[in-house]
């Protein structure tokens, strides 16, 4: 099959190619109508029929001709369109490497200042760097490995250096393809928070056992809101006699930089699970719910951030909410039952990660 390009960029498919493409579509789907629309072979599918596995097979058959397909429901009808496969820009791993080392520097400096006056700044800086890079790196590699497994081209993580008190603005991977269906979209969106949460919980527990010995509270000290998982971990470690002794009256135990790294990881997990636009929770919501439900969830997310004091993130989420999620290639086939059940676990992770205003 051969395609040429119009001045407008739309694909022109010859009659012979159109017939060949139509035969490929007919091999997997029952169609009601076939025609060319803006240079792209377009098909109305007969309803109802199984679409998930049929679409996967069609995509594989189209790959040899450098074509792909999109499946949408338009005005109650299932419409399949075959289009040229978009070109992907090659990434430069050197940028990932430079950002990685820059973030190591900024997180070490942050850990150094966090440790000053509490513990050895060099050890504290190194421990904070290892802990927070482990949390963020695991989160992003969860996305990356899942994307690779699901056949979605994605970059290595881009770590984003930042100033204290966090030393980083997190990390991102860039997807170069759309996921093939809602199952793949759900898997990619959920894998990062699940992996990151597990490591953040471990880092938090380890950091609790390293709490700084009791000291009188300095003037203007800050009490951080406490994620529910931290309360549960504290009770467990106390039961195992792995926590420092309770301080005398008027004294406090101070959070070790490693525990603070776990706290940051919990907050990052909670924020990423918000069901908004291109956040991880937005991918999950896009695979589960329609536009009206997602709009309500976006408004609820903004209200929750404002109520909990995350004003900067609320502004960021507001801008994100204005973007339209592209969805997967196959936006008709439903999400598998197992993944729907896994949504309960994601909600639980969100609740466990949410910082509560408790001392």
Residue pLDDT, tens place only, 209-250: 998 877 777 776 778 899 999 999 999 998 998 887 777 777
Query: What is the pLDDT at residue 178?
Result: 95
Query: Across residues 193-207, what is the average pLDDT?
Result: 97
pLDDT mean over 198-208: 96
Mind listing the pLDDT tens digit for each residue in 108-121? 999 999 998 888 99
Contacts of 325 (CB under 8 A, 6+ apart): 277, 278, 282, 283, 286, 294
- What confidence score (pLDDT) does residue 145 get? 97
Position 83 pLDDT exceeds 60:
yes
What pLDDT does residue 212 have?
Answer: 83
Q: Which domains does the chain have, with CATH numbers?
A: 3-84 (3.90.1070), 95-356 (no CATH)
- Verdict on whether the full-model pTM lies above 0.85: yes
Q: What is the mean pLDDT of the chain?
A: 91
Q: Which residues pair with 69 in a beta bridge?
A: 82
pLDDT the model gives residue 358: 61
- Using CA atoms, how far apart are residues 347 and 336, in angstroms rounded to an integer? 17
Report pLDDT digits (tens) over 52-73: 999 999 999 999 999 999 999 9
Q: What's the confidence (pLDDT) of residue 296? A: 94
pLDDT at 79: 97
- CA 60, CA 77: separation in Å to the nearest integer? 24
Instruction: Give me the pLDDT at residue 1, please.
Output: 39
Residue 325 pLDDT > 60: yes
Does the pLDDT value for residue 12 go beyond 60? no
Q: Tell me what pLDDT residue 220 has.
A: 66
Q: Mean per-residue pLDDT for 83-92?
A: 88
Q: Are the beta carbons of 202 and 229 closer than 8 angstroms?
A: no
Is residue 179 scored above 70 in pLDDT?
yes
**Rounded distance, CA 111 to CA 106, Å?**
9
Measured in degrees and rounded to the nearest 5, phi and psi for residue 169 equal: -105, 20
Q: Give the separation between CA 279 and CA 182, rounded to whole angstroms.
A: 15
């Amino acid at each position: 099959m051969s395609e040429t390009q119009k001045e407008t960029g739309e694909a022109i498919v010859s009659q012979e190619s159109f017939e060949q493409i139509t035969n490929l579509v007919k091999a997997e789907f029952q169609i009601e109508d076939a025609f060319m629309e803006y240079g792209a072979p377009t098909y109305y599918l007969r309803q109802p029929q199984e679409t998930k596995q049929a679409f996967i097979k069609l995509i594989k058959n189209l790959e040899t001709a450098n074509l792909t397909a999109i499946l949408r429901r338009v005005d109650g009808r299932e419409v399949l369109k075959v289009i040229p496969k978009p070109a992907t820009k090659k990434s430069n791993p050197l940028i990932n490497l430079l950002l990685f080392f820059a973030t190591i520097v900024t997180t070490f400096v942050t850990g150094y200042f966090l440790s000053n006056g509490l513990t050895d700044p060099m050890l504290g800086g190194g421990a904070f760097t290892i802990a927070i890079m482990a949390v963020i790196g695991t989160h992003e590699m969860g996305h990356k490995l899942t994307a690779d497994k699901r056949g979605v081209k994605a970059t290595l993580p881009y770590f984003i250096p930042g100033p204290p008190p966090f030393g980083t603005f997190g990390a991102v991977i860039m997807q170069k393809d759309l996921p093939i269906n809602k199952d793949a979209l759900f898997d990619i969106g959920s894998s990062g928070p699940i992996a990151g949460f597990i490591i953040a919980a471990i880092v938090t527990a380890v950091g609790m056992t390293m709490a700084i010995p009791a000291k009188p509270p300095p003037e203007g000290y800050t009490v951080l809101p406490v994620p529910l998982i931290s309360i549960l971990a504290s009770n467990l470690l106390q039961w195992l006699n792995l926590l420092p002794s309770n301080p005398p009256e008027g004294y406090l135990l101070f959070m070790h930089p490693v525990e603070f790294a776990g706290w940051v990881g919990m907050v990052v997990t909670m924020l990423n699970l918000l069901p908004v636009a291109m956040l991880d929770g937005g991918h999950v919501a896009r695979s589960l719910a329609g536009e009206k439900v997602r709009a309500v969830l976006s408004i609820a997310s903004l209200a929750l951030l404002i109520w909990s004091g995350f004003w900067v993130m609320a502004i960021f989420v507001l801008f994100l909410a204005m973007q339209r999620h592209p969805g997967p290639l196959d936006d008709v086939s439903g999400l598998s039952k197992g993944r729907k059940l896994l949504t309960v676990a994601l909600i639980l992770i969100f609740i466990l990660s949410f910082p509560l205003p408790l001392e």
